[in-house]
Amino acid sequence: MADVILAIDQGTTGTTVALMDASGRLLKSVNHEFPQIYPQPGWVEHDPEAIWLSVLKGIRALFKTRLAKSSQIVAIGITNQRETALLWDRDTGEALNNAVVWQCRRTTDYCQSLQKRGKESIVKEKTGLVLDPYFSASKFRWLLKNTPGIERRLKQGKVAAGTVDSFLLWRLTGGAVHATDVSNASRTSLLNIDQGDWDDELLSIFQVPRNILPEVRASSTILGRTKGLAGLPDGIPIAGIAGDQQAALFGQACFKPGEAKCTFGTGSFILMNTGSTRVNSKAGLLTTVGWQLGEEGPIEYALEGGAFVCGAAVQWLRDQLGLIKTAAEIESLAASVSDSGGVEFVPALTGLGAPYWDPEARGLLCGLTRGTGRAHIARATLDAMALQNADILRAMEQDIDARMKPLRVDGGAAANNLLMQLQADYLGRKIIRPTVIETTVAGACFLAGLGVGLWSSTAEISKIWGIERDFTVALPPKKRAQRVAQWHHAVRRAQMSV
């Protein structure tokens, strides 16, 4: 009977449950969405029970396919939306409030108050992160200040806090294990990423008691075993956990320093492996933990940057401007012209992310003439998606003082061949698209498989990781420099548009 790994990919809008075999082949995946909750403008919440139900539904649906039996599962891997924070009761496992989602901005004023008190340098030095409501620490504080009956429960030692991975691990083990992995912990603003443990000074700044937080463990190790779950036998090891972007980096087999991946989603998430050396960015990027393989293994680090609007730019053309009927149409429309005809689109529709970090920048569409058509605007949109990623990746090269290796891509827009060719041309590096495009799932499986010895090393995983297609650079350096210069001129105009 063949061994399989069960992956739980708990995302922002839904949960995917999948099976992978020892050859690295994805056998089947199923997805169940759950409701988004918006109590006030800028607030985003999830019902933890809805999250848990989506996991259980996924597991049941997966085994109805009869591609594998639950008795074949040798390990479970978890990957999850990062930074989302929640509290639950240690005795009952009951969630004490809705989870505060990573997108939620309710703690903006508090984070600004910490900045005014001069705390940002301490946070950045110890965590590699900027002081922002995006991360979990201020969300935990808000929950501790605003959950009914919390003081009584705290005095009784009944409160457990964590990110979504911790909550799922607790439920999967029947309440036996309260732990997280070092990659998820690094996104809370409470972890000292040099020491790999919660930091007393940071806990004091954000007013979060240490005893409610999970134990910080390696990303690939046996963290616990299943207990009391309908549809799964007791004793299956949960042997891999990582935040979704770190899991995607691992799933792309970016195991060496300088190897990077870009996930093309609503925004774009770019991570580059920097090895066991922490690199402090001078170019507006985040320093974060990639993973730790085994409890005795070194912590591996990464640089991270993101553009707020990537695939969302295509949605904007479709939904707000009506230039296309479906997102898939943009490739053929953009390919019908040889270039953008001088049109520039800076998709700063929610400000500019890395490496600019300019929340006041506004979207800009310029260079229009009587000859401009839909196709030119479509081409300028794909150009912008590729050019903003190239800016981030060049910043990463400056930080590591080395030339990056070919860029590995995933996410929905990675299927757009024209966009991938533009990315290769404007970055000046080969682009690699993997066989298994569900890279977060793959990363969770690889980490879990390593944790139980299904694979002996990352070198063995590299052998089964496959390439579907690569895109080589076709644009001469001089023309690339000219095109990038035009883009940067447009970006400066977008930053001056307010």
Task: Look at residue 97 in the predicted model and tell me its pLDDT.
Answer: 94
Listed ranges 181-185, 277-281, 302-306; the one with the highest mean pLDDT: 181-185
Query: What pLDDT was estimated at residue 1?
Result: 47
- Whether 498 has a pLDDT exceeding 70, the answer reads no
Quick: pLDDT tens for 34-57.
888 889 888 889 999 999 999 999
Task: Find tokens 């063949």 and name the residue.
Answer: 2
Dump the DSSP string for 303-371: EEEEES-SHHHHHHHHHTS-S-SSTTHHHHHHHTSSS-TT-EEE--BTBB-TTT-BTT---EEE---TT
Q: What angle do CA 16, 21, 25 make, to 5 degrees?
A: 75
Greatest alpha-carbon span in the chain: 72
Amino acid identity, position 297: G
Instruction: Please give, one letter per residue, the 3-state secondary structure of 115-126.
Output: HHCCCHHHHHHH
Distance CA 283, CA 478 (A): 24
Quote the CA–CA distance of 494 and 488 in Å, as a whole number: 10
> What pLDDT sits at residue 355?
83
Q: What is the mean pLDDT of residues 127-137?
A: 89
What pLDDT digit, counting tens, does each position of 51-99 carry?
999 999 999 888 877 766 777 889 999 999 999 999 999 989 899 999 9
Angle at 492 between CA 487 and CA 498, to 5 degrees: 135
Confidence at residue 463, expressed as pLDDT on a 0 to 100 scale: 92
Count each helix (H run) and each strand (E run) in the chain, helices first: 16, 23
Res 352: pLDDT = 81
> What percentage of the chain exceeds 90 in pLDDT?
63
Ranges assigned E (strand) in 244-285: 260-264, 268-275
Helix (H, G, I), strand (E, B) or coil at 80: strand
pLDDT at 497 over 70: no
pTM: predicted TM-score of the whole model, two decimal places: 0.88
Long-range contacts of 199-205 (CB under 8 A, 24+ apart): 199/126, 201/122, 201/126, 202/122, 202/123, 202/126, 202/127, 202/137, 205/114, 205/119, 205/122, 205/123, 205/137
116-129 average pLDDT score: 92
Of 197, 297, 223, which Cα lies nearest the Cα of 255?
A: 297
Q: Where does the pLDDT of residue 478 fall: very low under 50, low under 70, confident under 90, or very high at 90 and above?
A: very high
Is pLDDT of 468 > 90? yes
- The Cα 464–Cα 253 span in angstroms is 10
pLDDT digits (tens, 9 = 90+) for 150-176: 888 998 889 999 999 999 999 999 999
Structure tokens at 227: 């207990």
Please name the residues in contact with 92: beta carbons below 8 A apart, sequence gap of 6 or more. none
Structure tokens at 319: 């939904």
Mean pLDDT of the chain: 91
Contact 303, 287 (CB under 8 A): yes
Nearest 5°: the CA angle 256, 257, 258 is 110
Q: Residue 68 has what pLDDT?
A: 67
Residues in the chain: 498
Domains and CATH numbers, the chain: 4-246 (3.30.420.40), 253-498 (3.30.420.40)
pLDDT at 431: 95
Cα 374 off chain centre by: 32
Kindly report which listed range (60-64, 133-137, 375-379, 384-388) carries the lowest average pLDDT score: 60-64
Q: How far apart are CA 22 and CA 3, in angstroms?
A: 7
**Where are the strands (E) in 411-464, listed by range?**
431-434
Distances (CA, A) of 381 to 317, 323, 348, 453: 9, 12, 12, 45
